Amino acid sequence: MAQFNSIEEILEKYIPKEELQKVHRGLYGFDIQDPSHYLKFDPKVKGLADQLKLEVKSFRFPALAEELRKPRIVRIGAIQNSIVEPTDAPIRAQRDSLIKKISSYIAVAAECGVNALCMQETWNMPFAFCTREKHPWTQFAESAEDGPTTQAMRQLAARYNMVIVSPILERDESHGDTVWNTAVVISNTGKVIGKTRKNHIPRVGDFNESTYYMESELGHPVFDTQFGRIAVNICYGRHHPQNWLMYGVNGAEIVFNPSATVDSLSEAFWPIEARNAAIANNYFSVAINRVGTENFAHEFTSGDGRSAHHDFGHFYGSSYVTAPNGARSPGLSRVSDGLLVVEADLNLCRQVKDQWGFRMTQRLDLYAESLAKAVKPDFQPQIIAEK
């Protein structure tokens, strides 16, 4: 099936303008054709983006003016990208070409005034975990603290006064050279604040990731930065509401969800999960997906009776941001590299908490008690049948 660019383009093509406003309000929570919802950038941005063939989209989420708190305006950036070199090119060439590419995109983000930025899952390599092959793919793994990718991102973070979340394949040399799916959080000062790891590992279709790494033991850390309290829910963790919940419990205001997922598997889920999380937990969620189709030299199967194949499927991009009140931005393209820049007032997090009372009515004590029972070997579900 031929790929299409975006749902927004299809809606605009076939729905009359007056009706389209109603559709947009229902789908996004705003009339997204209203120009007041978009940011204006220096013309230099368009020139840079055109040169790089980079789609740049923007959106603005307002909050109510308060008497006792100043606005806490933050510009959030999300980058989605395709690989540069073919997957059979030398490892260093693949990695370095992506570092060069993303560095140029980060420069555009800086021109857009981005304060906190995140890339897609394992952005500096192909998503090769479908192959089940350890080599050469584990050669992409590097130190989270001082590997070449982190060193490059530290320089850019300091240069642009930008918090950068860099999801990579980590090699933990201090613990037996184990491999982890990790996001490194780098301060706008250029220092590594810390790291977090993928809490939930898929075992579905071609997602054979448990062949390479296991579930995180680092919990649900939230990183206190100059531009808000940030957390990272890596990819498959978005399917687990409890995962999203804990970042909210720990005080996150922005939760990035760097992902790698394909159209044949999850596209129906994609617009829903991160949006639901933002609503339920009163924070901004940032869903980021890679884009393009990556082909591998050796065929692999999916364990579902289909013929062996050389590619994972189409990574459909469509990155977007949702506000705590459930309004969401339009998505980036399904087929091309993109930068999404969203201006958010973090005061909206508390304002929505006050309006809806989700945290006040959350009943964590009730669920803590119930879950403590559910994990015991002698647990019996609370089912009541007619006598």
Q: End-to-end alpha-carbon separation of the chain, Å?
A: 54
C-alpha R_g of the chain? 21
Residue 382 domain-assigned (yes or no): no
Q: Are residues 239 and 200 in the same domain?
A: yes
Q: Are residues 117 and 250 in the same domain?
A: yes
Q: How far apart are CA 126 and CA 123, in angstroms?
A: 8
Q: Are residues 141 and 192 in the same domain?
A: yes
The answer to whether 184 and 105 have CB atoms below 8 angstroms apart is: no
Q: Residue 342 — very low, low, confident or very high, per pLDDT cuts 50/70/90?
A: very high
Mean pLDDT of all residues in the chain? 96
Residue 310 domain-assigned (yes or no): yes
Q: Are residues 43 and 32 in the same domain?
A: no
DSSP string, 213-272: ----SS----EEETTEEEEE--GGGGG-HHHHHHHHHTT-SEEEEEE--BHHHHTTTHHH
Q: Are residues 175 and 26 in the same domain?
A: no
Residue 383 domain-assigned (yes or no): no
Q: How far apart are CA 215 and CA 181, in angstroms?
A: 9
DSSP string, 153-180: HHHHHHHHT-EEEEEEEEEEGGGTTEEE
Q: Are residues 264 and 196 in the same domain?
A: yes
Q: Is 121 a catalytic residue?
A: yes
The answer to whether 121 and 196 have CB atoms below 8 angstroms apart is: no
Q: How far apart are CA 291 and CA 112, in angstroms?
A: 22
Residue 365's CB is within 10 A of a number of other CB atoms, namely 8
What are the C-alpha distances in Å from 131 to residues 82, 182, 298, 300, 307?
18, 20, 8, 6, 14
The answer to whether 73 and 343 have CB atoms below 8 angstroms apart is: yes
Q: Are residues 2 and 135 in the same domain?
A: no
- Check pLDDT > 90 for residue 264: no
Q: Are residues 26 and 151 in the same domain?
A: no
CA angle 7, 61, 193 (to 5 degrees): 100
Q: Is 235 a catalytic residue?
A: yes
Q: How far apart are CA 292 and CA 311, in angstroms?
A: 11
| Segment 150-196, tens digit of pLDDT | 999 999 999 999 999 999 999 999 999 999 999 999 999 999 999 99
Selected catalytic residue, list 112, 118, 235, 349: 235
Q: Is 198 a catalytic residue?
A: yes
Selected catalytic residue, list 198, 209, 273, 294: 198
Residue 387 domain-assigned (yes or no): no
Number of compact structural domains in the chain = 2
Selected catalytic residue, list 55, 111, 121, 294: 121
**For the residues 193-219, what does the mean pLDDT come to?**
94
Q: Are residues 151 and 231 in the same domain?
A: yes
pLDDT at 171: 98
Residue 384 domain-assigned (yes or no): no
Q: Are residues 86 and 145 in the same domain?
A: yes
| Segment 12-40, tens digit of pLDDT | 999 998 899 999 999 999 888 889 999 99
Range of the domain at 302: 38-375
